[in-house]
């Protein structure tokens, strides 16, 4: 076991958890679930009015919540978020870097200011979060949970800049983890990699596709699947957690049969994101260049099937099930590889 896997973290009911991007989607699902289990939650977002409503809702039900305005692309805002959490609750035990933006469209058609903002939010925002979390937890210990993506390993057509930022986040998390272990800093680093999750990100993303709002590529999972995985990592250190078996399968196929995966991404994944576009999309900058107009929703209203559980994720979070996990993955890779040989692309 590595040094971080030997760290003893507090039970959730005894924790103070900071969550960025907490006003919708995975962040909001995680905040509400953590509060229900007794944790004190510090909610960060640019949309402070809706965030205050969430704070009031949690507190009215007997929870402990604090809403803090923070644009994670601002180093000063993230430092103020850390200070507010420590001032209110005395410490920080877990920091979840969840805030992110996206661009849908062909990479060469994306304006440079938008491309730069993706990295300001998705990469530099995480860096600022990690800096401040480590400052708060350097001696007391705790965990940092960075929310990557299935795109952390393999880029997705029409989300190239988003994928690139999540690749960078993977490298950053791995490098920082090794530096913390080398220096004996008692802070666990986890990269959580969700597959497609039914959040409002398609409504909040910059969209340069020719018609209406983009769709998520199947399979798609409920945000609670990601929230449960995040909170499991807050109590038990994990190196990587894949939310949804599709996320793990993407990573394995990228290493074993990348040309076959090219075929899948170029066709099915690309088609899934553009089918059903009928309503013009007018909120081009909402969620990336400025705060969303309205938040507070956990789900995004995906039109297709949404899985409420993931057998892979559940099994991977329990060490005794590791053998079954490997066996299940082996079967999936074998079946896919048979198909790829038929395409003569492997």
Query: Which residues are catalytic, by number?
Result: 162
Enumerate residues 6+ apart whose C-beta is below 8 A from 40: 15, 16, 17, 64, 65, 66, 89
**Is 257:340 a contact under the CB 8 Å cutoff?**
yes
Q: 65 phi and psi, to 5 degrees? A: -140, 150
Sign of CA dihedral 23, 26, 32, 35: negative
| DSSP string for residues in 33-59 | HHHHTT-EEEEEES-HHHHHHHHHHHH
CA-CA-CA-CA torsion sign (315, 222, 72, 33): negative
Q: Is-cis flag, bond preceding 79, omega within 30? A: no
Q: What are the start-end ranges of the H helices in 92-208?
A: 112-119, 125-137, 160-182, 201-204
CB 42 within 8 A of CB 64: no
147: which 2 tokens? 């929310």
Residues in contact with 147: Cβ distance below 8 Å, sequence separation at least 6, in sequence order: 26, 96, 97, 98, 100, 192, 194, 226, 230
Q: Token digits for 336?
A: 């896919």
Is residue 218 within 8 Å of 196, Cβ to Cβ? yes
């Amino acid at each position: 076991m590595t040094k971080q896997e030997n760290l003893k973290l507090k039970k959730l009911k005894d924790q103070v958890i900071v969550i960025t991007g907490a006003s919708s989607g995975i962040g909001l699902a995680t905040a509400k679930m953590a509060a229900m289990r007794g944790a004190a939650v510090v909610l960060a977002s640019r949309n402070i009015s809706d965030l205050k409503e969430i704070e009031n809702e949690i507190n009215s039900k007997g929870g402990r919540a604090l809403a803090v305005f923070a644009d994670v692309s601002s180093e000063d805002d993230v430092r103020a978020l850390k200070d507010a959490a420590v001032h209110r609750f005395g410490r920080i035990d877990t920091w979840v870097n969840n805030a992110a933006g996206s661009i849908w469209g062909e990479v060469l058609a994306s304006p440079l200011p938008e491309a730069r903002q993706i990295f300001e939010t998705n990469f530099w925002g995480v860096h600022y979060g990690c800096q401040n979390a480590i400052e708060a937890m350097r001696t007391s210990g705790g965990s940092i949970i960075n929310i990557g993506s299935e795109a952390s390993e393999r880029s997705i057509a029409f989300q190239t800049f988003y994928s690139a930022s999540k690749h960078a986040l993977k490298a950053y998390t791995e490098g920082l983890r090794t530096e913390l272990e080398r220096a004996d800093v008692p802070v666990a680093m986890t990269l959580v990699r969700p597959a497609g999750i039914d959040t409002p990100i398609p409504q909040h993303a910059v969209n340069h596709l020719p018609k209406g709002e983009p769709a998520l590529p199947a399979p798609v999972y409920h945000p609670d699947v990601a929230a449960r995985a995040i909170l499991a990592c807050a109590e038990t250190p994990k190196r990587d957690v894949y939310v949804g078996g599709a996320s793990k399968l993407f990573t394995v196929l990228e290493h074993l049969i990348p040309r076959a995966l090219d075929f899948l991404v170029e066709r099915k994944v690309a088609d899934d994101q553009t089918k059903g576009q009928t309503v013009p999309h007018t909120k081009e900058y909402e969620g990336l260049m400025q705060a969303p107009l309205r938040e507070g929703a956990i789900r995004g209203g995906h039109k297709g099937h949404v899985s409420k559980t993931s057998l892979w994720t559940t099994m991977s979070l329990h060490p005794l099930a590791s053998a079954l996990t490997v066996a299940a993955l082996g079967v999936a890779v074998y079946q896919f590889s048979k198909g790829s040989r038929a395409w003569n692309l492997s």
